[in-house]
Amino acid sequence: MPQQARALHSGAAAGVKDQDRLQLDVEDKLGIPREIYEAVGGVRVRQHVNPLKKELQVPTDPPVWGEAFAEPSRPLVLDIGCGYGRFLLALSKHMPGHNMLGLEIRGPIIERANKWAASLDLEHSVLFLRGNATITLDHTLAAYPAPIDLVCVQFPDPHFKARHRKRRTVQKQLVEALSRLLAPGARVFLQSDVLEAAEHMRDTFEQHGSAWFAPCQELHSGPTFQAASPPRPPPQQQGQQGQADQQAATADAAAEEQGGEGQQEEEEAGQQPEERAEQAQRQSQWAAAGWLQENPLGVPTEREVLTTAQGLPVYRIMLRRL
């Protein structure tokens, strides 16, 4: 990842912390009273959590849907990696005929988000669960009694290091799970302020899900723009970098606090050169659809508010289940 992109992501992450502390533009942008946040209180969480931890390899049991939602027959909006949860709380006002479900791997902020929902009298239409979406979607959502209308993956941790790419949210198994869970016409919204991360999500859906998904034509025929990462280095150089990544992963393993986690990373690092060589040879056909200039949902995430306020681009694509 170029240093400029790393600096941009680091700066934006710092801004997100400032926004969380100072509640910048919350009332204007999301329409949720500031007193709600103050009443529930703050919580300290790690910004980055490894989804490969053993404790996160257990699927999340589904709730009793008739108890979780007042009207379980409503279509569902699923926000994967929902973060603090404010996006879903705001979106529920714009899509009152839907139930909202947020999945997040950081437990403390899930507890706080559910308290916020209760404070807003939304606890029977907005629910937050702790879960690793990569492994839990089929188990958690297979018995949901209504269609899943919209799935969002927004501003996921880009995991810049090559040996950490297996930690990224959008993986083959997630794409395949959504292909089973979504009915024709359902939408998948992907966006990031990191171009490589947005490309990874788009290309993973294209590589593993082009039989079931395609860019939404009615949206991508409107205002879009083109942007693409520089070409990847030749496979020979990638192989050399992969060896360096594997050595670094071995060093990381010695410092890992979670048993077995380091070995898993080292194995992943050994797989990276072949994976990168394969990606370098692939060309995205979906790239021609471009990136959406505007958020089609009409409700921004906090990260989106911060990024656009700085005049920085956001890379968005809407997919539709075929």
Comparison of pLDDT for 219 and 276, the residue scoring more: 219
Residue 166 is classified by DSSP as: G
Specify the pLDDT at position 133.
84
Specify the pLDDT at position 126.
98
The position carrying tokens 């409700």 is 299
pLDDT exceeds 70 at position 49 = no
Q: At what angle do helices 235-255 and 261-281 cross, to 10 degrees?
A: 170
Closest C-alpha to 130, from 67, 61, 197, 198: 61
Q: How far apart are CA 288 and CA 2, in angstroms?
A: 24
Percent of the chain with pLDDT over 90: 52
Cβ contacts of residue 298 below 8 Å, gap of 6+?
94
Q: Respond yes or no: is residue 157 known to be catalytic.
A: yes
Specify the pLDDT at position 160.
57
Closest C-alpha to 147, from 190, 189, 98: 98
pLDDT band at 257 (very low <50, low <70, confident <90, very high): very low
Comparison of pLDDT for 37 and 227, the residue scoring more: 227
- The reported pTM is 0.77
Average pLDDT estimate for 34-59: 58
Comparison of pLDDT for 169 and 163, the residue scoring more: 169
Token pair in block for residue 307: 């990024």
Closest C-alpha to 275, from 241, 227, 225: 241
pLDDT exceeds 80 at position 162 = no
Closest C-alpha to 243, from 212, 217, 271, 263: 271
Catalytic residue among 149, 157, 193, 245: 157
Specify the pLDDT at position 59.
75
